[in-house]
Amino acid sequence: MEVVLKDGNKLDVESGSSLLEVAGKINNRLRKEAIVGKINDKLVDLTAVVKDGDKVELFTLDSPEGLDTYRHSSAHIMAEAVGELFPDTKFGIGPVIKDGFYYDFDTEHVFTPEDLEKIEAKIADIVKRNTPFERKVIKREEALDFFNAKGEKYKVELIEDLPTGEEISIYEQGGFLDLCRGPHVPSTGYLKAYKLMTLAGAYWRGSEKNKMLQRIYATSFASKKELEAHLHKIEEAKKRDHRKLGQELELFTIEEEGPGFPLFLPKGMILRNELEDYMRGLYKKWDYEEIKTPIILNRKLWEQSGHWDHYKENMYFTKIDELDYAIKPMNCPGCMLVYKHGQHSYRELPIRYAEMGLVHRHEKSGVLHGLMRVRAFTQDDAHIFMLYPQIKDEIKKVIEMVDEVYNTFDFKYKVELSTRPEKALGSVEMWDKATNDLKEALDDLGLDYEINEGDGAFYGPKIDFHLEDSIGRTWQCGTIQLDFQMPEKFDLSYIGEDGGKHRPAMIHRAIFGSVERFIGILIEHYGGAFPLWLAPVQVDVIPVAGVHNDYSYQVMSELKKAGIRAVVDDRNEKLGYRIRESQVKKVPYTFVIGDKEVESLSVAIRKRGEGDLGAKSVSEVVDLLSTEIKNRG
């Protein structure tokens, strides 16, 4: 019989062949490296039998499908190990997550870090056994009877919640049996490199009404080398944690009086103001007009925008003169009021309104995370109103602006184009035209991008920018969204060439996204060692002894006159200690001043990351630093 491969070629195989045997028929290497496969687009175990005419595809560990299956199987192996070590354990769920997996356990024993080592040793033993993963399909009643008999109440609850008639499958490896859709790797011996990472508590099914279970987070990779690289990246990320560095560098704090509401300290405000001033400079370059809209607006506006009905659980409310008001979670509705304030002609378009707008959103306390997830943040929003024929050119301009910003911070980035979702407003023709405009803009600029089918906003297609930081992590920041809904909801119009009223097209765009979150990303991207133009303190002036203080303050004064942020550290501490502290605080330049420097009216320069640069006159260093700052170095 024949099966059809991914490339469309047909392959002769024996009747009753498994996917693993199909892999061997293609080549021996694929037989060794295949992890999982698809038959007619359904992900299945390699033991699955193919039929004549089936379309088949095979995946190795270098594919998302292969890696997810590998980690899913790793979770089962970890659960088996826990069950052998702690026989009273009842099992929750063990899904794959980004960079690993976890499993939730209910046991009287309280796990400790030492237990993780024991579990890892037991996993090693299970891997050596190389027992196969065996799939069985059973009836609902049989499954309920089996798990009830074992006292596995969590599995029983999951089965009871399944739709009647849905296929129920279980997987067994060795003596461990679990409710699972699969698929899995062929046997436990496939697991090569793994690490149990952390312990946490987790309510069953995420509800505070349920029992708190013990969760073990773990990860697995194809090789020890890849695992070690991942663990190194995690250690590097810990060193760069913006919450830790934010405290050490005196940038921001979040106090118990305001969870989710960051307080920016003086040095943090310097950094923030530099970023906002930089963006405002781009507003002039790219012809934006800046606006400011109120933080609190009447309920009627939020009903008109749709937020009152669809976003209420994330909003804060108040009453003024017995009327309902809401604190804005988004800037868009206020900007619609600005546009409606006057009548517009087609000759004015495009109109580009930019706003550094403070918004508030109610986030659950469990998801708050430093500056990355907060309840109050500032968005660098802009809304562009244009004629429909202007869409492509405006999109290109925004993309060029985004590119300029991210290059300034040495970010690589990936672009994702999201298309029409199932539930979308507007005609298919309108969506197709808008999506094509976005594609053409990206193509004209020669940008590579991925299509994210069906993941556009309900009001229009969008382009998202995913930044890659200095240790390879990605962050979604910038976005460009076409919106067909807001102009309709707010009855926006312009007077056309024919004298009649017409509906404008509209783009939402953000580049930083959230200023607070972008600052958090920058702290981690640079590890707190900001480029000179962003550094809150740009120069530490350190006198060797008290007799050098007067000249040190003169140097600081000259630097400040030139707009360079400088401080004098004349504390009664050893010179080496003060120099080291300047390095710990990640100050870009340290000027040491002793007898020679006072006599020659110069400074001895130490540059972060480079060491001693020798002595230069004050006028020379002012020119040097001013040029570096101007070039955003």
Residues recognised as catalytic: 332, 361, 379, 381, 383, 462, 508
> Is residue 420 packed enough to be buried (19+ CB in 10 Å), middle (13-18) or exposed (0-12)?
buried
Q: Are 56 and 38 in contact (CB under 8 A)?
A: yes
Alpha-carbon distance of 204 to 213, in angstroms, equals: 6
Q: How far apart are CA 268 and CA 190, in angstroms?
A: 49
Q: Enter the tokens of residue 4.
A: 């059809």
Yes or no: say if 30 and 60 are a contact pair by the CB < 8 Å rule. Answer: yes
- Residue 148, helix vs strand vs coil: helix
Which residues neighbour 517 within 8 Å (Cβ) at sequence distance 6 or greater? 371, 372, 373, 374, 377, 477
Burial (0-12, 13-18, 19+ Cβ within 10 Å), 473: middle
Which residue from 338, 247, 230, 244 is spatially nearest to 291, judged by alpha carbons? 338
**10 Å Cβ neighbour count for 408?**
14
For 86-139, where are the alpha helices, taking DSSP H only? 113-129
d(CA 361, CA 307) in angstroms, rounded, equals: 12
Beta bridge partners of 201: 214
Q: Which residues 6+ apart lie within 8 Å of 509 measured at CB?
A: 381, 382, 383, 384, 398, 478, 479, 480, 481
- With beta carbons less than 8 A apart as the criterion, state whether 91 and 177 touch: no
